């Protein structure tokens, strides 16, 4: 018997035939209205849900989906999936850890370069017919700090160290002894020691506002912030205040608290670079993400361990 997958994501359509060709029946529900309708209409048919961190799956939805057995989250973050409800039902949850690490790390470095070298401002100025040869900081040799040293953090560290001769430090809950980088036991101590702070840790209650006013103050007036993880990790109000006051030099952000809404305060600032949560999006990442989902589904329904389980 074929299994039915409710697809809530909207970014991997080109590669969903990988699932269909493997015999899975897909129900697409990419808007809040179609999602509610699909869950109500097909509650007894849905065996699996494909979602992403910000879209999640609520306790009420899990309760309604009486035949649900597995939730597959694309990307590393799963902050809006109700893990307690999944655990209570014995539902397996997987994520896409590592599947898009390369593109996200590429985007982090692109944001970093654009921010420090003033690329967007220089482009806009040149298009206006101006010739403003602004002196911008070098990137090579800077001290880089990374909050979160998972697959994405490691990919960023590798690019920074090998490509730009940067010294790399990091903060995580515990030291990664197998990694050659310097560990700090708090975000504040890390921020004090670096020129650029990159956020690469998952979202959720455990990391909410991990980067607050005190961490930004420690980063200092010559310091830069790059966030390609989750907006919730950074206190946005404190960040805006720091950027306005010049307490930090600038920020590059790919994630926001209420997407797709971007705070006007951030858009009005000249020391920000903003992109619409696209760090993990590339044809290669989409293909690899769906391929990982397929491998997890195949393993699960064969009674084998899934590849990337989320601890419930």
Q: How far apart are CA 240 and CA 257, in angstroms?
A: 13
- Assess whether 159 and 248 both reside in one domain: yes
Across the chain, how many H-helices and E-strands are there?
12, 12
In a domain, 312, yes or no: no
In a domain, 200, yes or no: yes
In a domain, 308, yes or no: no
- Assess whether 67 and 205 both reside in one domain: no
Q: How far apart are CA 42 and CA 91, in angstroms?
A: 18
- Assess whether 179 and 286 both reside in one domain: no
CATH of the domain at 27: 3.40.50.720
277 belongs to the catalytic site: yes
In a domain, 256, yes or no: yes
Total tally of structural domains belonging to the chain: 2
- Assess whether 262 and 289 both reside in one domain: no
Which of 32-44 are b and which e, b meaning 16 or more Cβ less than 10 Å from the residue's Cβ?
Answer: eeebeebbeebbe
| pLDDT (0 to 100) of residue 283 | 94
259 belongs to the catalytic site: yes
- Assess whether 183 and 259 both reside in one domain: yes
107 belongs to the catalytic site: no
- Assess whether 175 and 230 both reside in one domain: yes
- Assess whether 105 and 92 both reside in one domain: no
- Assess whether 143 and 225 both reside in one domain: yes
First to last CA, the chain: 28
Closest to 156 measured CA to CA, from 188, 174, 190, 179:
179
In a domain, 170, yes or no: yes
- Assess whether 135 and 250 both reside in one domain: yes
Cβ neighbours for 127, distance < 8 A, ≥ 6 positions apart? none
Q: How far apart are CA 288 and CA 206, in angstroms?
A: 28
What are the structure tokens assigned to 185, written together?
């036991």
In which order are the strands placed within the sheet that holds 143-147? 182-184, 167-171, 143-147, 196-199, 224-227, 250-253, 272-274
Write down the catalytic residue from 20, 37, 259, 284.
259
Write down the catalytic residue from 35, 52, 107, 230.
230
What are the structure tokens assigned to 282, written together?
């590339």
Phi, psi of 16 (to 5 degrees): -65, -25
Q: How far apart are CA 27 and CA 41, in angstroms?
A: 11
- Assess whether 121 and 192 both reside in one domain: yes
- Assess whether 168 and 49 both reside in one domain: no
| pLDDT (0 to 100) of residue 251 | 98
Its domain, for residue 112, covers: 101-274
Q: How far apart are CA 52 and CA 32, in angstroms?
A: 14
In a domain, 28, yes or no: yes
- Assess whether 180 and 257 both reside in one domain: yes
Write down the catalytic residue from 28, 89, 277, 287.
277
| pLDDT (0 to 100) of residue 97 | 87
Mean pLDDT by 10 residues, the chain (312 residues): 92 95 97 97 97 95 98 92 97 94 97 98 97 96 97 97 98 96 98 98 93 98 98 98 98 96 97 96 94 98 97 88
């Amino acid at each position: 018997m074929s299994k039915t997958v409710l697809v809530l994501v909207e970014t991997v359509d080109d590669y969903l035939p990988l699932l269909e060709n493997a015999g899975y029946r897909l129900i697409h529900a990419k808007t809040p209205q179609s999602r509610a309708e699909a869950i109500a209409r097909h509650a007894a048919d849905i065996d699996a849900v494909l979602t992403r961190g910000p879209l999640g799956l609520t306790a009420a939805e899990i309760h309604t989906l009486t035949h649900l057995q597995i939730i597959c989250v694309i990307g590393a973050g799963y902050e809006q999936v109700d893990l307690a409800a999944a655990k209570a039902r014995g539902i397996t949850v997987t994520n896409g850890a590592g599947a898009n690490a390369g593109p996200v790390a590429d985007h982090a470095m692109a944001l970093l370069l654009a921010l420090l070298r003033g690329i967007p401002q220089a482009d806009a100025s040149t298009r206006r017919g101006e010739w403003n040869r602004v002196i911008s900081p070098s990137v090579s040799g800077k001290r880089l700090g990374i909050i979160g040293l998972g697959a994405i953090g490691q990919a960023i560290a590798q690019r920074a160290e090998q490509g730009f001769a940067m010294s790399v430090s990091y903060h995580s809950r515990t030291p990664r002894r197998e990694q050659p980088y310097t560990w700090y036991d708090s975000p504040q101590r890390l921020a004090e020691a670096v020129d650029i702070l990159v956020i690469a840790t998952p979202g959720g209650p455990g990391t909410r506002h991990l980067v607050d006013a005190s961490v930004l103050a420690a980063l200092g007036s010559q310091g830069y912030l790059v966030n390609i993880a989750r907006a919730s990790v950074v206190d946005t109000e404190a960040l805006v205040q720091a950027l306005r006051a010049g307490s930090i030099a600038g920020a590059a952000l790919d994630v926001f608290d209420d997407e797709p809404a971007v705070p006007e305060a951030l858009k009005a600032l000249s020391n920000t670079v903003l992109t619409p949560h696209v760090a993990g999006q590339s044809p290669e990442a989409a293909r690899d993400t769906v391929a990982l989902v397929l491998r997890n589904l195949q393993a699960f329904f064969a009674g084998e361990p899934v590849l990337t389980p989320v601890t419930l």
